[in-house]
Structure formats: structure tokens, C-alpha cells
């Protein structure tokens, strides 16, 4: 496999489905992953923010990796998110991922504790250096309070040849330009905020770690392909339909909202793991208005 092919295309940040008893629904997880690959997605990224990784135990995470590796086989790589409260546990998770058969890693900042570059850089370096698997650094300062600046990313890239990509979720598409200016083609750049995908591709991104793809896989792949091809008129038309949904990925209860969309279109259920609870009241009503309008006006591809 071309090493950069891991990072080029639409890679779902797959949600973690739960059964009525609160356990992970592995049967649906496998089916859902195959559905998205059938639609043209190029890999699977479990155990990220949207995957509710912070509420999953260590063994649950390993079981999810195994299910996806078995479900997808050689069709597409599984690239799990690696995040933990401690460096030691994150390193163990990274090493187990390779043993299970995952073909890459998405390296998140540690949960809860975030300070300065000396400590956050040491954490990222320890996880990336724990394996020879290709790695993608996940920069999401709104969620994790750690902001990997372009110069710091360059430092990690110089130290670790297996750091191949960055998922950029700072909400500032200028970061993609800045990283490319500093590092050229050394790293693949992927958009991590759904409502910045067209702008991110225009700035030079080659991949999309997508959220609403869990409910609209074909539309997500089509939008990505149109934007990459430079078909601005067709991309803009599809983007305008999609944007109200894509903006659900950028609010605090994005997990609940994306799962609600999945349930409404028949690609999952809205069960989440506490402390999250399903949305209700005005927030739910407003979200359902957006979802139902999207369903009623869904374009033909």
C-alpha cells in the first residue's frame, strides 16, 4: 500500500453503537463500517471524539479494533484513535493496535490534563514512537485544550518518520496553509471539522475525517470528490444542502446530534453512553427540523 493512501479520501470517524443494555453493539459496528466502505470511504477511524472513546474501557477499545479489523479485512485500513488519561496507557493501546492488525493510528492529546508544549510534545512523541505504524496527529484545541502549532508539528515530524499526517480541527483553515508552507508535502493534511471540508480542500487538504458520513456516506464521498476535482459549481450545490447537517459536528453535543441523524435515516440509533444523554426539548426539535428538511430535499447523486 502507498503510505500516503491511508490519508487520502473520506475516513469516517465512526460512532460507537450501543445496544439497549449499554454494551457495544459489535454486530452493527461491523455492518455499519462495511456500509461506509461500500459507499466509497477509504478507511475507518474508531475511538475518536465522536466514537466516545473517553467513556470506553481499555478492553472495550481493543474489542472494537478487533471487530473492525475482522469486518474490513484487506478492503480498508482501521486507524484507531489513541487517547488516554496517561502516557503509559496510550502507549499500551498503540502497541496493542498494531498486534490486532490496525494499519495506522490517530494520536489524540491526553484527556483532561493539558499544559505546555514540553509536556504535550513529550506525550505525543511517546505514543508515536511506541510503534512503527503510520501515525496521524489530531489537533483539536477546542476539545482538548492542546494546540499543536505548525512549528511544533514540524518538530514532531522531524523526530518521527512514521508521523505521516495531521488531522486539523482548530477551526482555522489558515493552519492548513501554514503547515504546508512550513513542511511542504512532508505531511498529509486532513480536515477534521465537517463544515470546513470544501475550504480545507481548497487550502490543500487531501483527506477528511468525517462525522456526518455516518448518516450520509454517499453524499460525503461525492462532496469530497467534487471539491478535490475542482468542480466548484457542483460542489457548492451539494455543500449548501449538506451544511446545516455538517454544522451539527461543531457543537458541544455533536455526538448526540450525529447519532440522532443516524437514527432518523436508518443507519443506527441515538443511544449514547453517560454522562451524555440524548438531546431533548428545543435543541431536539431544532435538530429534527434540520434533519427532516435535509431528508425531504436530499439531492440525487
Radius of gyration, alpha carbons of the chain? 18
Q: Which residues of 36-67 are buried (b: 16+ CB within 10 A; e: fewer)?
A: bbebbbbbbbbbbbbbbbbebeeebbbbbbbb
Residue 276 CA to residue 262 CA, distance in Å, equals 17
Is 209 annotated to bind ligand?
yes
Cell 469486518 locates to: 71
Whether 218 is catalytic: no
221 CB neighbour count, 10 Å cutoff: 21
Catalytic residue chosen out of the listed positions 61, 123, 144, 167? 167
Q: Of 67, 62, 55, whose CA–CA distance to 25 is shortest?
A: 67
Enumerate residues 6+ apart whose C-beta is below 8 A from 146.
109, 110, 114, 120, 139
φ and ψ of 38, to 5 deg:
-60, -30
CB-based contact 105:53 (threshold 8 Å): no
DSSP assignment of 218-280: HHHHHHHHHHHHT-HHHHHHHHHHHHHHHGGGGSTTHHHHHHHHHHHHTS------TT-----
Whether 138 is catalytic: yes
Catalytic residue chosen out of the listed positions 138, 144, 216, 239? 138
- The CA–CA distances, whole Å, from 138 to 154, 215, 275 equal 14, 23, 24
Active site residues: 138, 167
The binding site comprises: 209
Amino acid at each position: 500500500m502507498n503510505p500516503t493512501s491511508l490519508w487520502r479520501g473520506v475516513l469516517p470517524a465512526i460512532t460507537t453503537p450501543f445496544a439497549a443494555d449499554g454494551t457495544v453493539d459489535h454486530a452493527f459496528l461491523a455492518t455499519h463500517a462495511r456500509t461506509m466502505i461500500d459507499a466509497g470511504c477509504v478507511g475507518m477511524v474508531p475511538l475518536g471524539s465522536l466514537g466516545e472513546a473517553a467513556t470506553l474501557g481499555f478492553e472495550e477499545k481493543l474489542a472494537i479494533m478487533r471487530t473492525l479489523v475482522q469486518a474490513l479485512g484487506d478492503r480498508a485500513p482501521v486507524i484507531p484513535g489513541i487517547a488516554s488519561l496517561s502516557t503509559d496507557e496510550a502507549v499500551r493501546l498503540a502497541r496493542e493496535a498494531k498486534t490486532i492488525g490496525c494499519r495506522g493510528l490517530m494520536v489524540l492529546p491526553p484527556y483532561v490534563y493539558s499544559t505546555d508544549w514540553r509536556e504535550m510534545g513529550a506525550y505525543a512523541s511517546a505514543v508515536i514512537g511506541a510503534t512503527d505504524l503510520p501515525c496521524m496527529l489530531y489537533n483539536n484545541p477546542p476539545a482538548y485544550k492542546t494546540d499543536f502549532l505548525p512549528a511544533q508539528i514540524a518538530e514532531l515530524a522531524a523526530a518521527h518518520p512514521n508521523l505521516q499526517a495531521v488531522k486539523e480541527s482548530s477551526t482555522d483553515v489558515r493552519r492548513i496553509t501554514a503547515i504546508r508552507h512550513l513542511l511542504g508535502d512532508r505531511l498529509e493534511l486532513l480536515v477534521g471539522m465537517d463544515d470546513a471540508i470544501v475550504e480545507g480542500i481548497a487550502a490543500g487538504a487531501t483527506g477528511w475525517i468525517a462525522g456526518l458520513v455516518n448518516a450520509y456516506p454517499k453524499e460525503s464521498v461525492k462532496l469530497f470528490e467534487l471539491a478535490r476535482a475542482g468542480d466548484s459549481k457542483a460542489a457548492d450545490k451539494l455543500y449548501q444542502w449538506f451544511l446545516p447537517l455538517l454544522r451539527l459536528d461543531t457543537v458541544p453535543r455533536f455526538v448526540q446530534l450525529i447519532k440522532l441523524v443516524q437514527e432518523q435515516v436508518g443507519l443506527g440509533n441515538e443511544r449514547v453512553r453517560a454522562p451524555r444523554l440524548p438531546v431533548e426539548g428545543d435543541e431536539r426539535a431544532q435538530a429534527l427540523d434540520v434533519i427532516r428538511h435535509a431528508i425531504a430535499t436530499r439531492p440525487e447523486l
